[in-house]
Amino acid sequence: MMTEEKRTIHVLKDEKLGVDREYVAVDRAANVGEMIVIVEPENTSGDVANAGHYGLIIEDDSVKNALIADFKGFDNHFVLDDGIQRVGEAGNYYHVLEPTDIVHIDGERYRLEDRKAEVGERVFYVNKENGKSDGIDTIVTSAGVDIVYVREYKDDTGEAVCSICHGYYYVLTPVQDATEPKESDVITVLANLGAEVAELKRTVAHHQAEFNALREQLAKVASGGGTKMELTGNFIADIIIGLKKAGL
């Protein structure tokens, strides 16, 4: 029975793009031209691919209901010299590696975005007809109606490149990895929260004092205290002011 491998990220070179790319392992049947990763070897004789080894499906052997994979070029260690091996004869003991839109360049992660680039953004050329690229990134210096002008560079043929047509490049957008909050950040948040709570307490205490004073004046009215003039004039004004101060 196959081992479980949920959304495991594998970083391998994308030969067409010429850069390292992130792949996810998916439990399904492979097609010719796809890369796979072994998750459970069919036997343990030592002359076959082991768990974690990568291969490229190069042929569909329908007679034996299996696929032929080439395990050369992936830093795999084998007893067999040619690295060619059938897979799937005893069932799907591999997972297919499906490409994501995340690539690695100079140790940084970027998302491939198929859109018009803006000045200052990082791009690299790609032939949309065959998906191939020289894997050389550059910076957009200005943008026109049909093309973007870039910092001049030499492609893999040695030809100087200073512009790329729209639709023939990918925009490389940096991917920000989620980071855990630092201890100092937590302390700052708690300190700010404490200050806000203290301010709230002072505000409540102030309103309580205003309310107590207003209640005392109302008690005087109820007991017959004060003059008629105070009740109809100054006292009413004091009540209104007290209500406003209390936020009522």
- Give the start-to-end residue ranges of the domains of the chain: 9-101, 107-174, 183-245
Q: What is the mean pLDDT of the chain?
A: 79
Q: What values do phi and psi take at 54, rounded to 5?
A: -105, 150
Q: Say yes or no to pLDDT of 130 above 50.
A: yes
* Nearest alpha carbon to residue 55 among 40, 42, 33, 70: 70
Cross-strand partners of 123: 138, 171
Q: Say yes or no to pLDDT of 173 above 90.
A: yes
pLDDT of residue 142: 96
pLDDT of residue 39: 84
pLDDT of residue 187: 62
Q: Which two tokens stand for residue 31?
A: 């097609």
Residue that is written with structure tokens 């490409």 in the block: 99
pLDDT of residue 8: 78
More confident residue, 171 or 198: 171
Say which residues have a Cβ less than 8 Å from residue 18's Cβ, sequence separation at least 6.
Answer: 133, 134, 135, 136, 156
Q: Say yes or no to pLDDT of 161 above 60.
A: yes
Q: What is the pLDDT of residues 2-44, one digit of tens each?
A: 444 456 789 999 989 999 999 999 988 899 999 999 887 665 5
More confident residue, 237 or 92: 237
Q: Say yes or no to pLDDT of 229 above 50.
A: no
**For 69-81, what is the mean pLDDT?**
72
* CATH class of the domain defined by 107-174: mainly beta
DSSP secondary structure, the chain, as one string: -PPP--S-EEEEEETTTTEEEEEEEE-S---TT-EEEESS-S--SSSS--TT-EEEEEEEETTTTEEEEE-TTS----SSSS-EEEE-TTS--EEEEEEEEEEEETTEEEEEE-S---TT-EEEE-BTTTTB----EEEEEEE-SSEEEEEEEE-TTS-EEEEEETTSEEEEEEPPPP-PPPHHHHHHHHHHHHHHHHHHHHHHHHHHHHHHHHHHHHHHHHTT-S-HHHHHTHHHHHHHHHHHHTT-
pLDDT of residue 67: 87
Q: Say yes or no to pLDDT of 102 above 60.
A: yes
Inter-residue contact 34 to 95 (CB < 8 Å): no
Inter-residue contact 170 to 115 (CB < 8 Å): no
